[in-house]
């Protein structure tokens, strides 16, 4: 019998890939809605590129403008344990951080 207070692992059904210097590629069954809750037409079963450079004329979808404007996205998922090594701070768990930066070469 499981303890209801223990968080159960959740298997994500959607994957969002932050493409190199490009859009977010969303893969999986999802709904995309605007600020008013109106749903965008998203083809079922298709991967969708969402603009993160801010330059698309088809927002929230990517139209390729990121390539023309030289959008650079340097972020990488960095685990907190790795950040601790880089900064000399104690590691805090093992989760990737949203604001993680790519290691400098
Ligand atoms: S990420 Fe492609 S147009 Fe913005």
Digit-coded pLDDT (tens) for 71-88? 999 878 888 877 766 555
Digit-coded pLDDT (tens) for 17-27? 999 999 999 99
Q: How far is CA 70 from CA 2, 27, 43, 91, in A?
A: 52, 25, 28, 34
Q: How far is the CA of 9 from the centre of ligand 1 (A)?
A: 33
Q: How many domains does the chain have?
A: 2
Q: Note whether residue 99 is domain-resident.
A: yes
Task: Check residue 48 and give its pLDDT.
Answer: 96
Digit-coded pLDDT (tens) for 51-66? 999 999 999 999 999 9
Q: Do residues 25 and 69 share a domain? A: yes
Task: Check residue 85 and give its pLDDT.
Answer: 64
- The range of the structural domain enclosing residue 85 comes to 76-105
Q: Do residues 38 and 84 share a domain? A: no
Q: How far is the CA of 57 from the centre of ligand 1 (A)?
A: 9
Question: Ligand 1 pocket by C-beta < 6 Å: which residues?
Answer: 22-23, 51-53, 55-56, 62-66
Q: Do residues 88 and 42 share a domain? A: no
Query: Counting atoms of ligand 1 from 1, which one is nearest the CA of 24?
Result: 1
Q: Do residues 56 and 96 share a domain? A: no
- As a three-state string, the secondary structure of the chain is CCCCCCCCCCCCCCEEEECCCCCEEEECCCCCECCCCCECCCCCCCCEEECCCCCCCCCCECCCHHHHHCCCCCECCEEHHHHHHHHCCCCCCCCEECCCECCCC
Q: Note whether residue 1 is domain-resident.
A: no
Q: Do residues 34 and 62 share a domain? A: yes
Across 26-30, 46-50, 65-69, 79-83, least confident range: 79-83
């Amino acid at each position: 019998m499981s303890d209801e207070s223990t968080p159960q692992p959740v298997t994500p059904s959607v994957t969002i890939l932050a493409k190199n210097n490009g859009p977010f590629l969303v893969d999986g069954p999802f709904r995309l809605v605007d600020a008013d809750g109106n749903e965008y037409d998203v083809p079922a079963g298709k991967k969708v590129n969402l603009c993160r450079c801010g330059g698309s004329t088809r927002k929230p979808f990517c139209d390729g403008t990121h390539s023309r404007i030289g959008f650079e996205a340097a972020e990488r998922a960095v685990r907190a344990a790795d950040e601790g090594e880089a900064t000399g701070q104690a590691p805090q768990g093992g989760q990737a951080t949203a604001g993680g930066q790519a290691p400098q070469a």
